[in-house]
Structure formats: C-alpha cells, structure tokens
C-alpha cells in the first residue's frame, strides 16, 4: 500500500489488488468508505448499497445530481434475487440474458424489491443492476459481502476514466481509496448497455458496450422457443443513469462536424472567407472514424482516427482516452466527424451526442478546398 501526498489536507490512498488489500478495502466499504475500482467498462466509485452516508458521499465527490440513479453491482443471479421483483416472464428473460451476457458490460433495469433504499433509485421503484466481469471488482464485492453501487469514477458530466491516470487527475487530492491493479486499462472503455425489462418488452435505456446487434441476435434465438420479446430503441426516461443531455464531456467544447454541399453553380465563396475558415480550423482537433475525414487532416491542429479500419469496438475503447488527451492540448475546440450514418454506431454515437450536447458545426465543402 502506498499513499499519495500533497500540499493539501486531503489525499487519496492507493492500494494494490492483492487479497490482503482487497480484504482491507472490503472492511472499509462496510464502514462507509468509498473505493475507486477498475471494471471492464470504466473505473467506478464503489460504496455500500445499504450505507446512506456512503451513497451521499458518492454524489458529493462526483458532484452528481441526486436525481441521477446509481447502478448496483453484485456477483450473480442468486445474489440479485432479494433486490428485484420480477414476474415469471420477466424472470425468464432476465435469467436468459444473464446466461448470454453476464458477467459483463450490461445493466438490467427492473422493478426493485422493498429492501432497496429510495436514495439509490430516486424513488422510481426500479433498480439498475449489473454483474461485473472484472476479477478485482468481483473479489472486492465478495470481501465486502454486500452489493456495491459504483457509478463512473469521474466528475459528473465529464469524461469517464478508463485508466489510473484519468482517475488520479480527478481524485488525487480527495480523501478516497483507489485500487491500482497493475495500471489496468479498462477492457471496453465505454459504459455498460442498460436495458429495461418489463413484461416481454426490452427497452434500450442507454446504448453501451453490448451493441444493439448483439441484443437482436439474442432475441432471435430466444424467440424460437419462448414468448416473443420486443426490442424498443431508445428511452429518455430519467430512471436510470446516463440520461442527461450533457455527459461524458472533455474540457474543450465539442461539436459534431458536418461537411455540406451547396451544389450551386451560382454561388462562389470569397477567398477571404476560405482563408478565415482555414485559420479557424488551425486551432481545432478533429476526431475521425474509418478515415472518413482523412483527406482534411492537414487543415487541423490535430487529427486522430478512433479506428482507421472502421472497427466500432476499437473506436469505443479509444473514445474517452482521446477526450482526455484533448484536455492536455492547447486547442480551441474538438470536432468529431459525423459518422452516425454507419452501421452499429449507436452506442458510441450516444456518447458523442451527449459529450457535444448535440451541437453541430456545418461547414460547406467549398470552404475546405
């Protein structure tokens, strides 16, 4: 165990992922302390589900709106039974989804049992529950002996943390426990997919690491031998995390870049306007995907492609790290090339829209030449 010290009164405490340290941290969780823990999605701030002060401290340290519910993490199906209230059909779907996707990056939003405190779910009557795959997190839950609430380890609305460096930048000067699992980098690098189960309807509440295509494949298989499941996309109900309009944002303003055609032989842009456009772009970082905007890369201060080959899971893994990198660059803003029209981009595009607040910057192609 090592301690980060600084000139301030507060400092984080760093622990290794050894059984000895994890057992100690399990005891700390039972005493109401918070622990920043690696997961396969993003780093999380864990607190004891049944300790109101601990949960209030999670909201306080993240500066998270109290109306934004938390995800509860436990080890498996049987651990969840006392936390949820399902009918027979919902239980069949729930258990089948678990067999297919859990443990892993998927969260189930279901009706909660009476033992769930109202401060967890904003009195919604639902609980968001997940079974993490990351071994360190699972061991921590086991040592704590209680379900753990664990939202992402970042300040509210800011970019999620996918490595220790990100965590330190947010919390190095806070009184909190942090697990260093050999400088672990999150496997998926993006939040879990949240799906609501209500009767035979599955609703995508938050796109994430499990793609819509993955869910459709599951439904096709399930419907061959069971009552048909209907998949709905998407819902903006504020009974689960990730529903605020502005979320996941880096420090610099983010815009979605749309290059548009005027298609007018009558219109000719003045040379001065082209020069102004080029000068404007020289202070901007462009984030691309599948090399769609590659031919314009030299017009920008910086250029990065989330996946040159168009691999959406590679892009999801890279997105938050690129956002964090832009925080260290002297640039005026960040543009993300519009690739929303491509197949299977729903999950990453959800993060991009929320990071930008949906703001769009349209530039005529005639001004880019």
pLDDT per residue over 245-267, tens digit each? 677 999 999 999 999 887 655 56
Q: CATH assignment of 254-367?
A: 3.40.50.11030
Q: Kindly indicate the confidence band of residue 225, based on its pLDDT and cuts at 50, 70 and 90.
A: confident
Query: What pLDDT sits at residue 227?
Result: 76
Query: What pLDDT sits at residue 237?
Result: 61
Read off the tokens for 265: 């032989």
Q: Kindly list the domain boundaries of the chain, sorted by start residue.
A: 2-233, 254-367
Query: What pLDDT sits at residue 5?
Result: 40
Query: What pLDDT sits at residue 262?
Result: 73
Largest CA distance in the chain: 75
Q: Kindly indicate the confidence band of residue 8, based on its pLDDT and cuts at 50, 70 and 90.
A: very low
Mean pLDDT of the chain: 92
SS3 199: coil
What CA–CA distance (Å, rounded) separates 29 from 127?
A: 21
Q: Kindly indicate the confidence band of residue 146, based on its pLDDT and cuts at 50, 70 and 90.
A: very high
Question: Does residue 7 carry a pLDDT above 90?
Answer: no
- What's the CATH architecture for 2-233? Alpha-Beta Complex (3.90)
Query: What pLDDT sits at residue 6?
Result: 42
Q: Indicate the pTM of the whole model.
A: 0.92
Question: Does residue 305 carry a pLDDT above 90?
Answer: yes
Question: Does residue 202 carry a pLDDT above 50?
Answer: yes
Q: Which H or E element spans position 44?
A: strand 44-48
């Amino acid at each position: 165990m090592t301690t980060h010290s600084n000139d301030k009164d507060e400092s984080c405490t760093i622990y290794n992922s050894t059984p000895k340290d994890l057992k100690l941290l399990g005891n700390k969780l039972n005493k109401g302390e918070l622990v920043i823990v690696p997961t396969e999605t993003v780093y999380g701030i864990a607190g004891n589900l049944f300790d109101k002060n601990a949960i209030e401290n999670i909201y306080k340290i993240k500066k998270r709106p109290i109306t934004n519910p938390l995800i509860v993490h436990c080890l498996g199906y049987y651990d969840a039974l006392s936390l949820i209230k399902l009918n027979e059909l919902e239980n069949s779907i729930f258990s089948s989804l678990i067999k297919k996707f859990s443990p892993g990056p998927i969260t189930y939003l279901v009706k909660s049992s009476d033992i769930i405190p109202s401060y967890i779910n904003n009195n919604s009557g639902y609980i968001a529950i997940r079974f993490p795959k990351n071994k360190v997190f699972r061991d921590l839950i086991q040592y704590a002996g209680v379900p753990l609430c664990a939202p992402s380890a970042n300040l509210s609305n800011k970019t999620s943390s996918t490595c220790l460096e990100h965590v330190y930048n947010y919390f190095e000067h806070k009184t909190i426990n942090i697990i260093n699992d050999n400088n672990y980098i999150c496997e998926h690098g993006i939040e879990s997919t949240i799906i609501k189960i209500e009767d035979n309807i599955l609703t995508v509440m938050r796109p994430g690491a499990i793609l819509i295509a993955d869910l459709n494949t599951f439904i096709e298989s399930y419907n061959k031998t069971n009552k048909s499941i209907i998949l709905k996309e998407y819902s903006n109900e504020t009974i689960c995390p990730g529903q605020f309009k502005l979320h996941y944002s880096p420090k610099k303003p983010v815009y979605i870049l749309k290059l548009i055609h005027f298609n007018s032989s009558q219109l000719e842009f003045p040379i001065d306007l082209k020069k102004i456009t080029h000068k404007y772009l020289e202070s901007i970082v462009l984030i691309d995907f599948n090399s769609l905007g590659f031919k314009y890369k030299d017009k920008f201060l910086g250029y990065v492609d989330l996946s040159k080959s168009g691999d959406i899971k590679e892009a999801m893994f890279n997105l938050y790290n690129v956002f964090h990198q832009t925080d260290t660059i002297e640039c005026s803003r960040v543009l993300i090339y519009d690739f929303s029209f491509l197949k299977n981009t729903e999950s990453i595009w959800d993060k991009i829209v929320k990071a930008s607040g949906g703001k769009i910057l349209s530039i005529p192609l005639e001004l880019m030449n």
